Structure 1
C-alpha cells in the first residue's frame, strides 16, 4: 500500500492493524495506542533488550519499543516503501533509532529477547514454520506476542486458534491467549471504511475508482466475517520453555 494512500485512512502512526477499543468513546488513534500499549506491556520489555518486530509496516510499534522502553528494536519488512517511510520518520522524530531492515522473517537468524508480530502472520506463506523459527531466536523465558486473525474453516488462509496453540506448544512455548478481539478489529475496519469515504476525492487522485472500491469492499467484507464468526482474532503470548 502506498504511504500517501495509507495516510488518508489510517491513524497518524499508520497502524494497518486492529485497534483495541477499551471504551466506546475511543477514536481510531486512541484505540491504536491502546493496542500498542497492551501488546508491549504483555511482552514485558526491559531496557537494553533486543526486540524484533516482525512485519513492522510503517514502524509504529518499533518506534514505541525504542522510545517508551529504551530497548533496541529491529523492525523487519519485505516492503521497501514502508521501510523508507519508517526510516525517514525515525530520523525526523529524533531520539533512539530503530534498526529497520528489508527482510523476510525466514531470513532473520539473530538472537533476540522479545518478538512482536502485529497482524502480519495472516500474510505469511509459511505459517507452519513461523513459530518454530521464532523459538530458535529466543532464550528460555523469552516472550513473543502475536496478534492475528484466525479461522476455524479451511476455506480461509489462516489457521484456527487451536491450531496456533498446538503449533506453539510443539515448538517449545507456553501459551496464553486473550479473549476474542473480533469486535475490535471489525470496528477498526469500519473506521478505515469511513475514512476512505471521507477522503474519496483525494484518494482518487492517487488510485483508480476500481481500486478504491476494491479496498472498500475488502474492509467491509472482512468486518462482516469477523462479526459473523467466520473469522476471529486473538492476542497470543508465547513464553519460551
Structure 2
C-alpha cells in the first residue's frame, strides 16, 4: 500500500481568510477599496498591492478599534505591537494621508452594523476591551490648576533624563532648532537657536534674563556663558530642575544662573531686562493665556524685551489631537500666530518682530527620529519597547504635521513700552 500523503496547506491569499471577511467592512468604511494594503495575522491580504503596507499582527487590534474607533484605537494597537507598517513609519503615514485625500472614513450606516458585527465575530474580534498599553497620562483636578499642570509636565518631561539626553543630543534642547546651513548638525542648529534668542533679546554682560519653562537649562547656560547674562530659570519638572542645576555648575556659571522649581504664577515680582519663553506657552491654556501674557508684561522693566517661541495650529484644531492628549501632553492649547500676537499686544506689549520657523521643526524632529531609530536597542533598555513605539508614532506624526503645514512654530519678539529713549539701529540679530 502506498502511504497516504499529508495534504499540503498554503496560506490564504488576497481576498481569502481574515482578509475576505474584513474586505466588506473596509469597503463600507472607505466607500470603496481601502487606500492601503492590509497583511493580516493569518497571512491573508487585501487592498492595493502597490500602496502602503499595514500589518495587523493580532486580531486584538480589531477589537481595540471596535471599542475605540479612530486615532486612539489605532495608537493603542501600534504601541502594543499589534499593528505595524513596512518601511519607514513617517513615509507610510504620509502615503496613507495622500491616499485618503478627499476621502473621509465614514461611520457605517446603522443598517450595516449586523453584517459588520457578524464579520467581527467570525474574525474573533468581539469580546471585552483589551487592556490598554501603559503610558497614558493620569491627571485630575481643575483644568490648569497648579497641581494639574505640575502633573502634566511631570508625565512627559520626567520620563527619564537619560532618555532625553540620548534623544536630544548634547544640546539637550526639546524645541525647534534653527538651521542656518544645509549640512548643519542638530547640535550646531540648537546653538544657533540659543544665540538667535539671545541677540533678539539684546543680552549683554549683567543683563537680567528670566527664562520661563527653561527645560534642561541649555538656553540659560548659553545666555550666561556666551553673553554674560544673569539668568533666573524656571521649570515645573523636578528632573529638569536637577539636570539644569548640574549643567550650569559644570559650565562654571552657577553664580550667574539661579534655577528654580516653581510655577510661572509663583515667580516673585521683579523687573527683568528680558524674558524668554521657549515652547512653554502651549501648556498655559486658552482661557489662562491673557493672564499669562499680562504676567510676563509685569515681570519686565519698562523697555525690557520678551521672546516667545511657540507652536501654532489652525483655529479649528487648537489641540494636539486625541493621541497627544492621552499620551503626550494633555491640556495643550495652540492657536494661529495672529491670535497669539493679539493676546501679547492686549497685555500692553509692543510686538517688534515675528519669524516663522516651521520648516526648521520638521528637520529638528527628523534628527530626533533618526537617533531613536539608530539607537533603538539602547532606548528600549532605558524605557521599554511600548514607550519606544509610542515615541516612534509621536515623532513621525509630529514631523509630518510640520512638513505639511498643519502646525507651525514662530518666534515673537516684543517690548514693554517705556524706559530709556530707543536708538534706531539695525536689528541686533542680523549681525550689523
TM band (smaller chain): over 0.9
2:279 equivalent to 1:119: yes
2:363 equivalent in structure 1: 187
Determine the C-alpha separation between the residues in 1 that align with 2:164 and 2:405. 28
For the residue of structure 2 that corresponds to 1:9, the secondary structure is: helix
For the residue of structure 2 that corresponds to 1:46, the secondary structure is: coil
Query: What CA deviation, in whole Å up to 9, does each residue of 1:66-106 have, x standing for no partner?
Result: 11122210000000111111111222222444100001111
Aligned partners of 1:11 and 1:32 also within 8 Å: no
For the residue of structure 2 that corresponds to 1:73, the secondary structure is: strand
Aligned partners of 1:62 and 1:75 also within 8 Å: yes
2:245 equivalent to 1:87: yes
2:172 equivalent in structure 1: 14
Unaligned runs of 5+ in 1: none
Query: Of residues 253, 257, 263 in structure 2, which corresponds to 1:98?
Result: 257
Q: Is the deviation greater in 23-32 or in 216-225?
A: 216-225
Q: What is the Cα deviation at residue 118 of structure 1?
A: 1.2
For the residue of structure 1 that corresponds to 2:383, the secondary structure is: coil
1:222 equivalent in structure 2: 398
Aligned partners of 1:78 and 1:102 also within 8 Å: yes
2:235 equivalent to 1:77: yes
> Number of residue pairs matched?
241
For the residue of structure 1 that corresponds to 2:310, the secondary structure is: strand
Determine the C-alpha separation between the residues in 2 that align with 1:206 and 1:146. 33
Aligned partners of 2:229 and 2:256 also within 8 Å: no
Equivalence map 1:24-173=2 (5 Å): 24-95=182-253, 96-111=255-270, 112-125=272-285, 126-156=288-318, 157-173=333-349
Q: What is the Cα deviation at residue 64 of structure 1?
A: 1.1
Q: Is the deviation greater in 92-101 or in 69-78?
A: 92-101
For the residue of structure 1 that corresponds to 2:294, the secondary structure is: helix
Q: What is the Cα deviation at residue 176 of structure 1?
A: 3.0
2:149 equivalent in structure 1: none
Aligned partners of 2:269 and 2:298 also within 8 Å: no
The TM-score with structure 1 as length reference comes to: 0.95
Q: Is the deviation greater in 145-154 or in 158-167?
A: 145-154
Aligned partners of 1:91 and 1:97 also within 8 Å: no
Determine the C-alpha separation between the residues in 2 that align with 1:216 and 1:40. 32
**Higher RCO (CA-CA < 8 Å; seq separation 6+):** 1
Determine the C-alpha separation between the residues in 2 that align with 1:31 and 1:238. 23
For the residue of structure 1 that corresponds to 2:277, the secondary structure is: strand
Determine the C-alpha separation between the residues in 1 that align with 2:264 and 2:316. 24
Aligned partners of 2:235 and 2:261 also within 8 Å: yes
Aligned structure 1 segments of 4 or more residues deviating by more than 6 angstroms: none
